[in-house]
Structure 1
Amino acid sequence: MDAKSIKEEKAEVEIWQYIFGFTPMAVVKCAIELEIADAVESHGGAVSLPDLASAVACSPSALGRIMRYLTHRGFFELKESTNQYANTPLSLLLLKSGVNTIAPLLVMEASPWMLAPWHGLSASASRSGGSGFKAAHGEEIWEFGSHNPAESKLFNDGMACHARRAVSEIVEQYGEVFEGIDCLVDVGGGDGTTLHCIVEACPWIRGINYDLPHVVSAAQWVLHDWSDDECVQILTKCREAIPKETGKVIIAEAVIVEGEEDKYRDVKLALDVAMLSHTEKGKERTIEEWDLVIKGAGFSSFTVQHIGSIISIIEAYP
């Protein structure tokens, strides 16, 4: 088989992954809703299909097909000796009350109102621009959340889940970023989860949560939601508010590193397209783009610390 034929054959196989690209999210969401991982844990870490079907109130036949797919994707392990299912590191991330659960974030992203803007991605990329979220729902996500309490809670739960994981990674990998800080203002702190986690890990810090009025939580004012000009305005206000000699602004965001190996590159690029779909001007930035924004806000210098996570830590100094 010549090289061209090999590439064509690979393309024929690969394109099917895109045709059914929604399947992994849908099936994993199903597993979360049925609390399959929790049921396995409650049975001592291993359970037969009939017992699992009984526990989650499902048809054994239908559940067997779902478990076959999830096992194929590495979410569960089928032990041949006992014909029982066991959890794996992947499925443990779906536990309802797990310390490292990512279930609320996945359920949020898989919700119909968050998926709808993706269908308007081509419109978002057009010259006329605009937000895919607004095209789908008639208003931007911030306004939408203010009068849709159920969806707002789903959003807050997803963001709180992400915040807990992110703060844990920051404290573990780069805890020194909080050394010497007496007072910390979380700009766009949502329901306060991020600040609570930071103060819990660093009890000497006095925390101030700042966000929108409705339950102080509908919108996470993180910088990737905003245009470069808006980021400059936000950061300028932050710079003006901190002590010139001892203050700093800590930015925890995904940083796209061009030309370097990064195990989270696919996720960061997906986040960037998510910003294109769900906001009018938001984006994930490269280091060069952060340099323009931070220097444009009047900061004299900044450092970037990659902590082996989706997020990196940027420290900007006045």
Structure 2
Amino acid sequence: MASHTKVEKFNSKDEVTAQAEIWKYILGFTPMAAVKCAIELGIPDILENHETPMALGDLASKVGCTESSLYRIMRFLIHYKIFQVKSISKTSVGYVHTPLSRLLTRQGKHSMADLVLLESTPAMLAPLQKLSAWVLGDKELPFKAVHNTDLWGFCAMNPAHSELFDRAMACDARVAVAAVIKGCPEVFDGLKTVVDVGGGDGTAIRSIVEAFPWIKGINFDLPHVASMAPTCNGIEHVGGDMFDRVPKADAVYLMKVLHDWRDEECINILKKCHEAIPQDGKVIIVDAIIGRNEDDHDEFKEVALMLDILMIAHTSDGKERTLDEWSYVFQEAGFTRYTVKHIQAYQSVIEVYP
């Protein structure tokens, strides 16, 4: 008599779903790896410069690879809706862009390619392996546990990584500032001077001054950063330390700065901002709020939570904050009120008043 192997059946639909879902975590690194591969091969830019759907053979020729290897990468990315296919003829198809893949072009206005390349580097991924040690009370923060220095020290010792980091932050800045300008331009009404604290290469304040040319912009960052920023009409680059002083202006602009720091440091930075503005001035904060629009549909709801995990891995006790946590640091820094505006980005705009 033939033997029969007993096949275990799942007891419920939930168990089947769980079995399928767990593979998304087991193999969760593969979408990042495939997208990084596409960027490194230049596929988004090749398609951007090709006006019609591009056949596999033509794309492979342009990339300089075999059709068989490229096909497998493209098949994966099409499944994830990074790219799409369209008919060329009755018997053949070609690859074309989607709104998502256009964000992966290297020179696109809203390119996020350098952010993908940054976060997929071994240097940024390795500290994520130390999360459990951090939760269990390891005094050494994840990034320092791996690299024997903090992120800023690592960048100082690794110029290529520092350059990629700066390009990645500029990507985020361009997208966020465009969302601010489009979603709530009234934030800049009546302002004659704006100082961007931690402005890096000046990407953000440059976009603001271009949109509102009556504003005089001040790009404020550490001296070695400000000294490398490109010259731009209407913008003064100033070097200094935000823990010592902030240049005076009608408004202080803080985009993705405070989330790098613990409450104590945030309060100190905000106190310096308070000293820099007049009584009728304000601080404009562009940063994530965990739990924003909790009752509404929010395409960016998960982004702040994921970024908070990255803050554990990459910074010295930085964190993304809930609105209550934001309110606490505002009050402790001596501000009396604030308003919140949501934009089409994972950040919100918080206007804080003396």
Q: So what's the TM-score if we normalise by structure 2?
A: 0.85
Cα distance in 2 between the residues matched to 1:260 and 1:149:
44
1:159 & 1:57 partners in 2: Cα distance? Answer: 31
Q: How does 1:152-301 map to 2 (within 5 A)?
A: 152-216=162-226, 222-244=257-279, 246-257=280-291, 259-261=294-296, 262-301=298-337
Cα offset, 1:221, TM superposition: 6.9
Q: What residue is the counterpart of 2:3 in the other structure?
A: none
Deviation at 1:129, TM superposition (A): 4.1
**Counterpart-to-counterpart distance in 2, 1:129 and 1:160:** 32
1:22 and 2:23 aligned = no
User: Would you say 1:48 and 2:69 are equivalent positions?
Assistant: no
* Larger RCO: 1 or 2 (CA < 8 Å, sep 6+): 1
Taking only aligned residues, the RMSD between alpha carbons, in angstroms, comes to: 1.9
Aligned to 1:66: 73
> How big is the shift at 1:304?
0.9
Residue 251 of structure 1 and its aligned partner are, at CA, apart by 0.4
Larger deviation, residues 34-43 vs 283-292 = 34-43
Aligned-partner Cα distance in 2 for 1:45–1:226: 48
Match of 1:305 among 341, 347, 352: 341
Separation of aligned partners in 1, 2:153 and 2:311: 17
User: Matched residue pairs, number?
Assistant: 316
Q: Percent identity?
A: 51
Distance 1:54 1:277 in 2: 40
Deviation string, structure 1 residues 252-279 (Cα, Å, up to 9, x no partner): 0001126433321111100111101111
Question: For 1:194 and 1:112, how far apart are their aligned partners in 2?
Answer: 28
Distance across 1 between alignment mates of 2:27 and 2:196 = 40
Gaps of 5+ in 2: 1-8, 230-240, 242-254
Distance 1:101 1:45 in 2: 21
CA gap of 1:256–1:221, structure 2 versus 1, over 3 A, is closer
1:35 corresponding residue in structure 2? 42
2:85 is equivalent to residue 83 of structure 1:
no
The SS at the match of 1:263 is coil
CA distance in 1, matches of 2:323, 2:122: 33
Residue 92 of structure 1, aligned match among 77, 94, 102: 102
Q: What secondary structure, in the 3-state scheme, does the structure 2 residue paired with 1:302 have? A: strand
Q: In the TM superposition, what whole-angstrom CA distance separates every residue of 1:166-196 from its partner, at most 9, and x where no partner exists?
A: 0000000011111111111111111111111
TM score, norm. by length of structure 1: 0.95
Decide whether the 8 Å contact of 1:125 with 1:276 is kept in 2: no
The answer (yes or no) to whether the contact 2:127–2:313 under 8 Å persists in 1 is yes
Give the secondary-structure state (helix, strand or coil) at the position aligned to 1:50: helix
CA distance in 1, matches of 2:285, 2:192: 17
Secondary structure of the residue that 2:303 maps to in structure 1? helix
Q: Per-residue displacement from partner, 1:197-240 (whole Å, max 9, x unpaired)?
A: 11111111111111123233899870000001110010011101
The higher radius of gyration belongs to 2
| 1:124 Cα deviation after fit | 2.5
